[in-house]
Amino acid sequence: MADFLNPNNDPNIGSSRGDNQSTVDSTLNSLGVDVSTSATALLTTFVPAFILFTLWTLVFIICRRSQQRFYAPRSYLGNIHEHERSPELPSGWINWIGAFFNLSDTYVLQHSSLDGYFFLRFLRLMSVTCFVGCLVVWPILFPIHATGGAGNTQLDALSFSNVTDPNRYYAHVLVAWMFFSFIFYMVTREGMFYATLRQAYFLSPLYASRISSRTVLFMAVPKALLTGSKMTKVFGKSIRRIWITTDCKKLDELVQRRDKLALRLERLETDLIKSANLARSKAMKRQKNDEECAADDGVRPKTTGCDFDSVPWANKVKRPTHRLRYFIGKKVDSIEWLRSELEKVLPEVEKLQKKHRDGGAKPIPAVFIEFDSQAAAQTAYQMLSHHQPFQMTPRYIGITPQQIIWPALQYSWWSRIVRKFLAQAAITALIIFWSIPSAFVGMISNVAYLSNLLPFLSFINKLPQVIQGVISGLLPAVGLALLMSLVPVLLRFLARQTGLPTTVHVELFTQNAHFCFQVVQVFLVTTLTSAASAATSQIIKDPMSVKDLLAKNLPKASNFYISYFLLQGLVLSAGAVVQVVGFLIFKIFVAFFDTTPRKLYERWTSMNGLRWATVFPVFTNMVVIAHISLNDALRPLLSALPRTLEQAERLGDGDDDDNNKDMGEQDDSASSCQDDATSEKSPISPASGSNEIPSPISTSSKLKRATQTTITLAEITRAGTSTEIPAFPHRKPSALQTILRKFSYFIHSIVQPHIYIDYSTLRKRIRQGTPIEYSDEVADNAYYPPSVWSPTPLLWVPRDAGGISRREVELTSRVTPMTDEEAHLDERNKVKWDEVKSQPPIWQEKVFY
C-alpha cells in the first residue's frame, strides 16, 4: 500500500512537457515551434517602409524641379518678406543636397522662427543622445544579452529578457549611470542655451521695437478699473495706448454677414462674366467679322459705349437667380438682391464700429495696455496690480493680435477655472477609454503567442511567415499611427474650451496633454498589453507572479517599437517632405474649385503651418521610449532614424510661429520609468544602485534658479562690441584641418558651455535690422477685435474682352468697392492673374506686430 501511495512510483509524474518552472516559450520550443517572429516582423516592416521611403523620395526629387510653388514656396513666392525668404537651391537632380546640408541652423533662426530653430535643435539633441547611447550600450550589453542563457531566439536573443544571471544586471546599472548622467548634462546644457538665446532674442533691437513686446494683456479686470483714467492711475504715465475690449457679439454677426454677402456677390459676378465671355466667344466663332463685339487686343474692347443688351449673344447669358425662401419664396435676381442687402448692412456696420472705437459699447474684463518701453511693460507684467486674488490675472506679454482668441476674453476668473478642471477631467477620461483600442494594437503585436493559446486564432499559424510578420509588425505600427492622429484634434478642441486667450497657449496646453497621452497610450498601455499577451497562460496559472512575468516579457515588447520607429523614421519622414495629400488637394482645388481671382490668390500665397502640439509630443515620446530602453540593446539599432527625421523636418520646417518652449525637461519621465523597469526585473542590489541616479527634477530647479538673471546695460554694451580676431592673410585650410577644427569646436562647446553659450556669443546669432515703425492707423487699431477695424472687402473680378466686367464694376461700385484689374479671362475662359508679381488689388502688406 505504501508503494502504491508513493508519488515517485506514479508513471504520469514527469510525463508532461515541462515542470513547475516551465514557460510557454520553453514548452513550445520543446515541440519545435519557434514562437518568436521578431525578425520576420522587422523584415516585413522594413521592406514596405523602405519601398515607400524610396518612392516618396523619388517623387520629391522629380517634382521639386517643376513644382517650385509647392516644394519651395519661401524662395518662389513674391509676396514673402525678404527676411522670411529661403535661399534658392540648385535645380539639378542631386546637386541641391550639398547646398541644403550646408545651410546652417542659424540661418533658420534668422529667417524663420524661434520655434523652428529650437525644434531642429531638439532633433539634433535626440540624434546625439541616441548616438552616444550606441557607443555606450552596444559594446557592453550586446555580448551580455546574447550569452544570457535564457534560450530566446531571433531578436529576442538580444533583449533584456535573455539574461538569467542576476549578477549580470550590474552591467545594466553601470550603463544606466553613464548614459543618464550624459542625458542630465545635455538637458542642463540645453536649458542654459535656451534661456540665454531666448533672452538675447527678446532683448534684440528688432524684437524690442515690436508693439507686442511692449503690450500686456490683463484679464479678469474689475469693472471699476475699465476706464483709461483708472488704468493710468494704476500704472503711471508710462502708458502709451489702452485698448478696453468690448462685447462684439452683435458686431461680429454683422461683419460676418457683410463679408458673406460681399464674397457671394463676387462669386456670382465672376460667374456672370465668365458666362458672358463664353457666349461672346461662341458668337465670334460663328460671326468672325462682327465688329460690334470684336476687341483690338483680346482684353480691352474698342468702345466703351456698346449697348451689351442689344447684341445677340447677350440674350443667351442667364443672370443668376434664387428664391428668398426655399421652394416657395419670391424669385429674385441674385446680384441685384445682394447689392440691395449690402446697401443696408454697410451703414450699420460702420455705425457700430464707430461706437466700439469711441468706447460706447459694453466692456468686458480684458484690457490691452501698450507701454512706452519694454522695461515698463515687464515691470507692469510682474507687479501685483490688485489686492484681491484672481483680479487682473492672468497676464500675458508678447502676444500678437493674430494669436488672440477674442471670445475667450469675456470669461470671468471663476468660469475659466471651472472650464479648465472640466477640460482636464475630459482629457483624463479620454486617456482611460482610449486605452481599449491601444491595448488591442499591443495585443496584435504579439499575436504569435496568442495564436498558440486561443483556438480561434490557430489559423494564423498556418499563414506564411511573411503574412505573420505583416500582422505582428507592420499592421500594429500603422494602426497605432492612425489611431493617434485623431488625438491632437480632440485635445485642441478641449484646450479652446478652457478659456485660454491665445492660440499659443492653446497649443501649449494641447502639447502637454498630447505628451501625456503619447506616454500613456503609445508606451505604457501598448507595452504592458504586448507583454501581458505574451505571458497570458502563466498569469492565469499563477496571478501572483504577474510582476516577474511582465518584467521578463516587457523587453520583448520592444520588437513592436522597432517597427513603430521604422515607420516613423522612413515612411513618415519621407511623407513629411513629399506631402502627397497636400499636393493633390492643392492641385485639385486650383483646377476645379477655386473659380474666383481671390480664391486663386489666397490658395497660391498661403502656406501650411506647423502645429507644434501635433509635432513635438510624437518626437518627445520617441526620445522617452529610446531612453527608457537603455537596458535593452535593441533600441539603439534605431539611432540613425532620428537623424533622418531631423533632416526631413529641417527640409519642410519654418511655416509657423507659435509658442516657444523647450522640451528637454520632459526627460524626467524617462528616469522614473527607467527605475521602475530595473526594479521589476531585479528587486535586489543592482536596482537599488540604479535608484541612486540624481533626480532631473532637482537639476531642472537648479537650472531655473541659475538662469533667472538680469542682463545689465553694461553687459549689453560689451556684447555689442566686436570680439572677432582680425583677419590675416593665410593659406586655405585643408579638408582634414576643417574637419578637425569643427570637431574641436563641437567638443569644446559641450564641455565648456559657459564660454560658447553666453549672452554676448548668442546675441550675434540674432538677426539684426532696422527697428519696426508703425503708422498711426496700424498702431491705433492693433489690439482692437478684427470686427472693430475690419474694412469693407474689395471685390475682385476678372476682366473680359467683351466689357461685361467693366459694366458690372461700374454698377456694383455704387454700393461697395469692386475692381477688375490684374486679372482676366484667357482663351479657355479660365481666370488668370499675375502670379509672379503677387501684389493684386486685394494684397495687403504684412504687419509684424
pLDDT at 722: 38
pLDDT over 80 (residue 317): no
Check if the beta carbon of residue 284 is closer than 8 Å to that of residue 372: no
| Of 247-261, 304-318, 815-829, minimum mean pLDDT range | 304-318
Could you read off the pLDDT of 242-255 as tens digits, one per residue? 999 998 899 999 99
Could you read off the pLDDT of 699-744 as tens digits, one per residue? 334 344 444 433 443 343 334 433 333 333 445 566 666 667 766 7
The grid coordinates listed for 32 are: 519545435
- Which value, to the nearest 10 degrees, does the dihedral of the CA atoms of residues 519, 522, 524, 528 take? 180
3.40.50.620, 3.30.70.330, 3.40.50.2300, 3.40.50.300: CATH of 210-247+362-414: 3.30.70.330
DSSP-assigned beta bridge partners for residue 369: 216, 242
pLDDT over 50 (residue 665): no
Percent of the chain with pLDDT over 90: 14
Every domain of the chain with CATH number 3.30.70.330 lies at: 210-247+362-414
pLDDT over 50 (residue 303): no
Mean pLDDT throughout 475-498? 82
CA distance 378 to 396: 10
DSSP calls for 488-531: HHHHHHHHHTTT-SBHHHHHHHHHHHHHHHIIIIIIIIHHHHHH
pLDDT at 53: 84
pLDDT at 716: 38
| Of 39-48, 57-66, 706-715, minimum mean pLDDT range | 706-715
What average pLDDT does the structure give for the chain? Answer: 74
pLDDT over 50 (residue 637): no
3-state secondary structure labels for all residues of 351-376: HHHHHHHCCCCCEEEEEEEEECCHHH
pLDDT at 370: 93
Confidence of residue 266 (pLDDT cuts 50, 70, 90): very high
Confidence of residue 267 (pLDDT cuts 50, 70, 90): very high
pLDDT at 680: 36
pLDDT at 449: 63
Beta carbons within 10 angstroms of residue 83's beta carbon = 12
The grid coordinates listed for 313 are: 449673344
CA distance 441 to 434: 11
Check if the beta carbon of residue 216 is closer than 8 Å to that of residue 732: no
Mean pLDDT throughout 473-499? 81
Most trustworthy range by pLDDT among 270-274, 563-567, 602-606 = 270-274
DSSP-assigned beta bridge partners for residue 367: 218, 244
Check if the beta carbon of residue 247 is closer than 8 Å to that of residue 362: yes
